[in-house]
Amino acid sequence: MASIEQAITTLREISTEAGYISQAAAVLSWDQETYMPPAAIEGRASQQAILSALVHQRLTSDDLGTALQTLGASDATPTGNPSLAFMDSRLVRQLYRTWKQARKIPEQFIRNLAMATSQGQVAWANARENNDFAGFQPHLEKIVDLCRQKAEYLGYQGEAYDALLDEYEPGMNTTNVEGTFAALAGELAPLVTNCVRQSKNSPIDTDFLSSGFSIEGQQQFAASVMEAMGFSSERGRLDVSAHPFSTSLGRDDVRITTNWSDDLSRGLYGVIHETGHALYELGLGRELPSALASGTSLGIHESQSRLWENMVGRSREFWQHFFGRLQTIFPAKLQGKTADDLYRAVNRVQLSQVRIHADELTYSLHIMLRFRLELALMRGQLQVADLPAAWNAQAKKLLGAEPANNREGCLQDIHWSMGAIGYFPTYALGNLYGAMFMDQAATEMPKLWDNIAHGQFEPLRSWLQTNIHQHGLAKNAGELLQDICGKPLSHQSYIGYLRGKYQAAGKD
Amino acid sequence: MASIEQAITTLREISTEAGYISQAAAVLSWDQETYMPPAAIEGRASQQAILSALVHQRLTSDDLGTALQTLGASDATPTGNPSLAFMDSRLVRQLYRTWKQARKIPEQFIRNLAMATSQGQVAWANARENNDFAGFQPHLEKIVDLCRQKAEYLGYQGEAYDALLDEYEPGMNTTNVEGTFAALAGELAPLVTNCVRQSKNSPIDTDFLSSGFSIEGQQQFAASVMEAMGFSSERGRLDVSAHPFSTSLGRDDVRITTNWSDDLSRGLYGVIHETGHALYELGLGRELPSALASGTSLGIHESQSRLWENMVGRSREFWQHFFGRLQTIFPAKLQGKTADDLYRAVNRVQLSQVRIHADELTYSLHIMLRFRLELALMRGQLQVADLPAAWNAQAKKLLGAEPANNREGCLQDIHWSMGAIGYFPTYALGNLYGAMFMDQAATEMPKLWDNIAHGQFEPLRSWLQTNIHQHGLAKNAGELLQDICGKPLSHQSYIGYLRGKYQAAGKD
């Protein structure tokens, strides 16, 4: 018994130290994206390389392995000895997974992958800038090969893509995603067709939102929204970076960024999205050990950001409350406009080519496109050289047209250049998780939307914290769904939500 | 011979890794002082404690000790085997010193000190804010105890304070400082008396500088000055913090901060001072190994900041060049004023209570006050509880009056809360070093002041880089003085400079 306690202490100590070093690395990354002077990049890369190695050493250490063995962790019993208390069993599960996965990948391979993706990102940025796929092709070929190798190191039951997907969304596999996306696509198609036709018949005015909003005014408004959502500047901040992100630098230090333009909706919805991520990290239980103090999967994380951004932030009730405040800050810009004009403008449906500017309804189509292509790449059914043509064909099928060029097509996203194959599906899964959670929240809190219309966001935030945030990695995505909704993942809630919102709008 | 090469490689590898981890820690400190949200402090302290321990482990490692032994390093031959090339011999000297000192201090003690000073700084900030010495007292008691313990670990020949002083100003001891300060005080007294009497007889107008300067305009002007001094925003930045500082986060990443008010001279001279520090770090030789890539002592560092701030920035020549630019930015504020009015205003002598706002002439008195008190604390002749009274008594003696409250008295500086006892004397030593360097620079460059009057600061910056900056830790303070000025430290140059500037001004 003494040795069990000792092993738990070892687990906690090693993972806490690794956690603090990871947080330090996160501070460096945050600084790199926000304030770091340009010439500092080389030194910063060396600092980061050493911190990464220090974390890796700890999470693959023999000491950790021995302690996990003492605690009975194995593939058959990932939560270890059945006598362990709940939180300890989850700590064992998480660290056994991390340790096992990290031990499978040789250090030399990690270095090769880091080198290839580091060069790949530079090549991608140039290729996108110059609309030059050929300049990126050899890099992507190498990265796809390395990702296939990585899958072999990690191992899988079904197919190679499973191993990559599992890195980002533990418990999910290719068959699940294919089935879910196929069902979703079938239901989305008529909704999208209706809405696009409707948009053509009675165009929605969105021009008034797209320019002339001072950044200072937008910051003021965004601060009100963040505060209403429950983000406290005691425990976080909002800065500016080229691409919006959210990052946790400590249990009481979660930072978000946005990129202001004079388009009101881009900055605002960026802030709401990232605040949704931040609330998850800020809502983690104080009692969680360091190794469990994190969002449980990318899909669940994305459910929090997209739920706040779209289901709440693009709701009629949101604008019923916030329109007056916005009008006070921008009286001239919004003269003669109503909350309903705002609501319609931020929900206009349009088939477009660029994912990050896509509306809520068509967003998942962009993800399906990427999923199909990266799956085909991993299966060897598609060669990198043929990617532009394959992209354009899928874009025609899913988005109704081919992109004007590769820059707005297969070169638009950074993910593949970073080696992040298997990541995209989590964006769309986030929509499905989010809708399931919101269905349940509305059932448990009949006044939910009434509260939101009155600017009371705390009941929702608190419900999300109690049911999701506080558990961190102690519950995985499947367990959260089971405990909250009593059922596994499905697209039903999401489609129900979209029908309620867009079927009316799409009626002729 | 092969093993010598191998030992040098070991030295470089270990110290480079320690250097990068130290830089990561510096990023965390910078963030803590500039942007970190308040509630993050506890997590940040833990992150810092671990990074400190990682650095400590490397600099005390057996591998490093063995390599140093192989290279012949000992107390008798600190530069190691006489066959070593110059840079290698200095690397050996520096790392032998670091290793020997660090081995004396247990890792647990380092963690305790890091934790105590991290919390101490927060307590100090609150105490100063609320003029509440009692809130800081237990923290300072703990820190003083830890500093005494540290001195015992390090060992000393004369008294405990020697061990602390040597950390900041290697080669200096308490007796030296006491003697130098006594000689300086003797020469300063009549100069100060004269200038204060003269100020009373014919008051100098400084009111026009003390308010009404927009921060935006000040930032614009400060940017011109920084650029003229040779600071590039490619390799650094200027931010805001409660207490101005300069910090190196990498060879091409040196950050400074200031604290703007509507008083022109406060922000400006803060910026010039910190830019002086930054130029030192930015001027380090590219060929210096990581362990030598740093300013050689705090006193030499301070010579660079104070030389730029006072000898250059408060010179007639500086304002001959910059007055026009300032007038362009603040035409209304400076209507009817001349470069000479500015010169006189920024050089007004006044006995005051707050060190960071002290004029050049009386500044050293503030240092002597702190030196006496921290020496008494270390000697056990003064208890922390009695610090406010002792401070007030010394202030009366040296500065002619007691401070209005502890906020303007013993709570005014952050240093003790950081555990930096033994640090203050280096500020005054910096004045002496700086004057010796400027004497030599003016001798070698007869057009030095002519250049400055024409806004050409590059000859001075370049001279300082060639003679001081590029050498980093490869030359210690004594060696720099010997190589540049051909003599050891004395107060003669500084007093000569002050007489030239203030004796005329102080004449009735």
Which residues of chain A neighbour B38 with C-beta distances below 8 Å?
234
Find the mean pLDDT for residues A222-238: 97
d(CA A319, CA A342): 7
Neighbours of B66 (CB within 10 A): 12
Q: Which amino acid, residue A211?
A: S
Contact A27 B23 (CB under 8 A): no
Contact B252 A20 (CB under 8 A): no
Q: How far is A508 from chain B (nearest CA, A)?
A: 51
Q: How far is B90 from chain A (nearest CA, A)?
A: 23
**Would the pLDDT of B244 be above 70?**
yes
Contact A250 B43 (CB under 8 A): yes
Neighbouring C-alpha atoms within 13 Å toward the C-beta of A417: 20
Which residues, other chains included, contact A6 with Cβ-Cβ below 8 Å and sequence gap of 6+?
Answer: A67, A70
d(CA A476, CA A69): 22
Contact B252 A46 (CB under 8 A): no
Cβ-contact A406, A354 below 8 angstroms: no
Q: Dump pLDDT digits (tens) for A337-375.
A: 999 999 999 999 999 999 998 999 999 999 999 999 999
Confidence of residue B203 (pLDDT cuts 50, 70, 90): confident
Which residues of chain A neighbour B45 with C-beta distances below 8 Å?
none
Q: Rounded to a whole number, what is the distance in angstroms from the first to the last CA of chain A? A: 71
Which residues of chain A neighbour B235 with C-beta distances below 8 Å?
37, 39-40
Contact B234 A27 (CB under 8 A): no
With a pLDDT cut of 70, the percent of chain A lying above it is: 99
d(CA B483, CA B300): 14
**Would the pLDDT of A280 be above 90?**
yes
Q: Which amino acid, residue A11?
A: L
Contact B37 A251 (CB under 8 A): no
Find the mean pLDDT for residues A302-323: 98
Confidence of residue A301 (pLDDT cuts 50, 70, 90): very high
Q: What pLDDT is attached to residue B507?
A: 46
> Among residues A410, A473, A500, A479, which one has the least CA distance to residue A144?
A410
d(CA A120, CA A134): 13
Contact A37 B251 (CB under 8 A): no
> Among residues B187, B185, B207, which one has the least CA distance to residue B503?
B187
* Residue owning tokens 């009100």: A224
Which residues of chain B neighbour A21 with C-beta distances below 8 Å?
47, 50-51, 54
Q: What pLDDT is attached to residue B70?
A: 97
**Would the pLDDT of B287 be above 80?**
yes
Interface of A with B (CB under 8 A): 17, 20-21, 23-25, 27-28, 31, 35-40, 42-44, 46-47, 50-51, 54, 232-237, 239, 249-253
Contact A234 B37 (CB under 8 A): yes
Q: DSSP string of A234-278?
A: TSEEEEE-SS--EEEEETTEEEEEE---S-HHHHHHHHHHHHHHH
A17: nearest CA in chain B?
Answer: B50
Tokens of A422: 């298997």
Q: Which of A20, A21, A43 sits opposite B253 (nearest CB)?
A: A43
Average pLDDT of every residue of chain A = 95
Contact A253 B47 (CB under 8 A): no
Average pLDDT of every residue of chain B = 95
Measured between alpha carbons, how far is residue B424 from residues A391, B19, B73, B366, B448 in Å?
Answer: 66, 25, 31, 9, 30
Q: What pLDDT is attached to residue A507?
A: 47
Which residues of chain A neighbour B54 with C-beta distances below 8 Å?
21, 54
Neighbouring C-alpha atoms within 13 Å toward the C-beta of B154: 23
* DSSP bridge partners of B254: B236, B248
Cβ-contact B276, B308 below 8 angstroms: yes
Confidence of residue B357 (pLDDT cuts 50, 70, 90): confident
> Among residues B314, B391, B323, B422, which one has the least CA distance to residue B360?
B314
Confidence of residue B291 (pLDDT cuts 50, 70, 90): very high
Which residues, other chains included, contact A97 with Cβ-Cβ below 8 Å and sequence gap of 6+?
Answer: A78, A170
Out of A33, A169, A274, A309, which one is annotated catalytic? A274
Confidence of residue A2 (pLDDT cuts 50, 70, 90): low
Neighbours of A175 (CB within 10 A): 11
Q: What angle do CA B197, B198, B201 make, to 5 degrees?
A: 90
d(CA A296, CA A469): 9
- What is chain B's percent helix, strand, coil content, to nearest 5? 70, 5, 30
Confidence of residue B506 (pLDDT cuts 50, 70, 90): very low
Which residues of chain B neighbour A293 with C-beta distances below 8 Å?
none
Q: Dump pLDDT digits (tens) for A53-95.
A: 999 999 999 999 999 999 999 999 999 999 999 999 999 999 9
**Would the pLDDT of B503 be above 90?**
no
Q: Give the relative orientation of helices A360-379 and A133-154 as an angle to the nearest 10 degrees.
A: 70
Tokens of A158: 């079904």
Confidence of residue A441 (pLDDT cuts 50, 70, 90): very high
Q: Dump pLDDT digits (tens) for A182-217.
A: 999 999 999 999 998 888 888 888 889 988 999 999
Q: Which of A37, A46, A236 sits opposite B236 (nearest CB)?
A: A37
Cβ-contact B392, B403 below 8 angstroms: yes
Q: Dump pLDDT digits (tens) for B152-196.
A: 999 999 999 999 999 999 999 999 999 999 999 999 989 999 998
Which residues of chain A neighbour B37 with C-beta distances below 8 Å?
233-237, 252-253
Residue A38 DSSP one-character state: G
d(CA B356, CA B259): 12
> Among residues B394, B427, B387, B395, which one has the least CA distance to residue B411?
B387
Q: Dump pLDDT digits (tens) for B388-422.
A: 999 999 999 999 999 999 999 999 999 999 999 99
* DSSP bridge partners of B253: B250
Which bin fits B173, alpha (ψ -120 to 50), beta or left (φ > 0)?
Answer: beta
Which ipTM value was assigned to this complex?
0.93
B32: nearest CA in chain A?
Answer: A27
Tokens of A482: 């089971």
Q: What pLDDT is attached to residue A508?
A: 42
Which H, E and C letters describe B459-472, residue by residue?
HHHHHHHHHCHHHH
Helix (H, G, I), strand (E, B) or coil at A287: coil
